[in-house]
Amino acid sequence: MSEHMVERMPGGITAPEGFEAAGVACGIKTSGLDLALVRSTPPARVAGIFTTNLAVAAPLVVTRDHLRTSQDTAAAVVVNSGCANACTGAEGLAVSRAMAADTAAALGCPVEQVLVSSTGVIGLLLDAEKVRRGVAVAAGALGRDGHAAAAAAIMTTDPSPKETAVRVHTPAGVFHIGGMAKGAGMIEPNMATMLGFLTTDAAVEPALLQRALKEAAADTFNAITVDGETSTNDMVLLLAGGRAGVRIDENEYATFVDALRTVCRELALAIVRGGEGATKLIGITVTGALSTTEARQAARAMANSPLVKTAVHGGDPNWGRLVAVAGRAGVGFDLTGARVAIGGVELFADETVFAEREPAAAEHLRGTDVTLTVDLGVGGDARATVWTCDFSAEYVHINADYRT
């Protein structure tokens, strides 16, 4: 672990060798880029995690089919925004299959090596003709410099594109990991997540690739929430192309996961910062829990509490709402031992209220990065952190008027 170094670098999914990307506008959205294409040369080994929502959208059905047939390899990923192609029945499934077939034809690869993904309005059939035209244009525009357009093309209500890349120095050589993500609403991953696409030029052993993605996602993509909703289209894919000539085996696994976690965390926190109507990033750490599961459950309950989120939005150090959520979270909790701190300022401990410290806590809440810490008071040693954003009137406006 000590011999490697993870270094931030500019760029996104094309930072690793062997990946090209493009983002184009094909009219699915009324304006802006709405179709992204990523190509891997040679075809990459793929790990994926998918929504746990039982109302699975058509593109996820197709992508999983293709991964089975291709034995977890892919030459391309094609993604559209503006239409989730979810709840669209057999017709929707046909469009997702056509989207893959068009891409395979344009790139000259087997159809099962094309993975498809969609995000946007549910219950709207994806327009196959628009997709076909978009794929043709995107295929001609592929390049190493296409990462930014691709990251922009997968946005829905996101205020800005999310992409990042790292260079990893190891004794065996240098490799890269890049990524892009979208997500602003309907965000509460549950062993799955929003849309995220990750690339690397390391060669990773098949069993390790999926394990690394799950492990890195557990405390990044799966530790964020915007509104407690799990989407029908959530998907994160990690493509490992191998062009860097660095092989990741058990010995190098820790290095790889560490770098992958850096990329995932940056994208995950960017999703929360860009949450619908968000003005603040809130990190909620629960300590003293009886188990990590209980710590996560309590932290997530607080992160989804409209009363906690509106208090932070209003700059009110209302620690009582955190206690109230802890008490109803269904986890071991003891009021007599509970402690609450806001920005490191302890406001409640040993059943004593430190009201005189509230101005210091309120000062912390005026910043854009907020830290809340709650000890459950039952003397456990487990802890967990979940990230969320504040709840503003703007969230209501966005979601009351989403389709109009």
Please tell me which residue in 88, 103, 156, 193 is annotated as part of the active site: 193
C-beta closer to a second copy: residue 91 or 369: 91
Residue placing its CB nearer to a second copy in the complex, 62 or 74: 62
CB 231 within 8 A of CB 81: no
193 carries an active-site annotation:
yes
Q: Which is nearer to a second copy, 2 or 404 (CB)?
A: 404
Specify the residue, 163 or 390, whose C-beta has the smaller distance to a second copy. 390
Question: Taking Cα atoms as reference points, which of 239, 178, 144, 182 lies closest to residue 33?
Answer: 182
Q: How far is the CB of 229 from a second copy (least distance, A)?
A: 6
Of the two residues 175 and 319, which places its CB atom closer to a second copy in the complex? 319
Give me the least distance between CB of 246 and a second copy, in Å please.
39
CB of residue 253 vs a second copy: minimum separation in angstroms?
32
- Cα–Cα distance list, 361 to 35, 137, 357 (Å): 44, 53, 7
Residue 191, both tokens:
């062993």
CA 338-227-211 angle, to 5 degrees, is: 85
CB of residue 270 vs a second copy: minimum separation in angstroms?
A: 21
Q: Which residues of 180-201 are buried (b: 16+ CB within 10 A; e: fewer)?
A: bbbbbbbbbbeebbbbbbbbbb
Phi, psi at residue 328, to the nearest 5°? -105, 5
Nearer to a second copy (CB atom), residue 60 or residue 148: 60
Q: Are 398 and 281 in contact (CB under 8 A)?
A: no
CB burial of 19-33 (b: ≥16 within 10 Å; e: otherwise) equals bbbbbbbbebbeeeb
d(CA 290, CA 376) in angstroms, rounded, equals 9
| Min CB(166)–a second copy separation in Å | 32
Pairing of strands 247-248, 339-342: unpaired
Q: How far is the CB of 233 from a second copy (least distance, A)?
A: 9
Q: Which is nearer to a second copy, 51 or 164 (CB)?
A: 51
**Which tokens belong to 17?**
């060798």
Using CA atoms, how far apart are residues 39 and 276, in angstroms rounded to an integer?
A: 30
Give every CB contact of residue 341 below 8 A, 6+ residues apart in sequence. Answer: 347, 372, 373, 374
Q: Which of 27, 83, 93, 28 is nearest to 60 (CA)?
A: 93
Rounded least distance, CB 398 to a second copy, Å: 8
Q: What would the DSSP string read from start to end of 162-182?
A: EEEEEEEEETTEEEEEEEEEE
- Contact positions vs a second copy (CB under 8 A): 52-56, 84, 86-90, 121-125, 185-186, 190, 227-232, 304-307, 310-311, 313-316, 318-321, 323-328, 333-335, 338, 348, 350-353, 391-393, 395-404
Q: Please identify every residue annotated as catalytic.
A: 193
